[in-house]
Structure 1
């Protein structure tokens, strides 16, 4: 039978006499389940209530890292290790209440999400820059999905002309700061998330204080200057950046992962001159367009948090509402990129 060795601290916590056991099991998970049947006090340490194996362990088989479904032979030696941090270690994911389990039941029943994934969403912190056309669907669906902390930054007030597309606002909040209007609507959707509002424009002074507090930053702005700023600060602090942009009937979406792929400035090295820049002369926009693009951004943000699916990193998704067509362009990291290229890295050192 395979031999299984557990961390010494678990031996002490569970008041066991030994760290090593011979157990039946064709996979890593099956062996741990067999051990927990023999010593039930270990189950809470190895498995979530959903039955999924907890992720803060390193699984080692034959001297190499393994996965929960790795097959074991009669002669296999499985060792369970905890990361040595020298400190108290990362915080546990927050638990879900019975109310939350009922609310997010349709998420939890998805194998790609499960209870552990919903706990990741509850622990996540997402910053949305702009609470207009794009920020409206992004914020509403992230709140509905159970993202635990949502930051909203915008310096504008709600105008009558916004209501054709900025669905987080309403006729009752015309004239109010957009962040407060959005907060009121999001609380109506879900009173569980912690909503942090910044009634200000994201700028060089406040970006370095705000952005590092979040796990993901989502683009809901409408100008190049802010996007280049988001990109620079996201690169500096290693915060994934979900990009979205709209113009009349067209939209774009991508994801930029600092240190793991191209950035916004790799895609757009320089902004176009004012005479030909989209939105420079015509700010008209088809009302439903930001809904489509914002939902795509929210989808990528949720996938980032959950660690599932194939992200739009290194891919630009282009949407044409008039022809109802999507197309995709691949792009790569630019060695000479001023934000993330080789020359930039050398200057930093």
Structure 2
């Protein structure tokens, strides 16, 4: 790795901006790869709002001083140390851009953040395992304001780390260590894990089924917490967790007993009060935007469950498959 690591982030949305800011704070030479129609906006820089616990005031920070590129050809004009994939699972698999980017970035370490169970296997078509680091996103980020009346001086990206949140990463030591060292130098709460995909699989399964159920409830917490809604979501979540555990060789025994309607009903209001923003609005806005990813993951659970001969009745009912 060079003295000043050259880092390319694919996607300059709410996730890419947050990681880019921490990487720049660590002294990295940061660049974004974006679609042509977003390039000029990105070149103007971004406004970031870092939120604390129960914080309701938004103090803006400026994130600028990075390069913007719009094609694998422009990327190939220089060498890279790290490539960060800050796009959804569905965007990752759309078209042939990953193949072209892999050829344009030489021997760079690639860092994947996507949550779908098959994403790593899909990427291994182009990136060998000895150059691939897996990570998870422990923060919530969104375009602010979420709704009229939010105390935002100007439009930007807000982000929040829940209490005790840590960003887990795993991969070959010679590739993983520079990634962790760089993030920590920038103040990011990074931590090594033996298998991030396994650690993230069960929480992602619960979240995906929860979001699917919330969408079915019209993005209303009150409607979601009604008995008929919870009695659909809870068994579907248990099915998805069993499938995720089977796929990653994980252990779901500690989680399955917790996936009961009463626990959803008890925890959701507490989590909503803890967040320093309107959680109901955030979930509607964010997961409507990445709805294709939610559907992909729900269908993936059904397909994997069938192949493993695991129960998928409730997941099927949710997906219509």
| Shorter-chain TM band | 0.3 to 0.5
Larger Rg: 1
TM-score when normalising by structure 2: 0.35
Higher relative contact order (CA 8 A, sep 6+): 2
Q: Tell me the TM-score normalized by structure 1.
A: 0.33
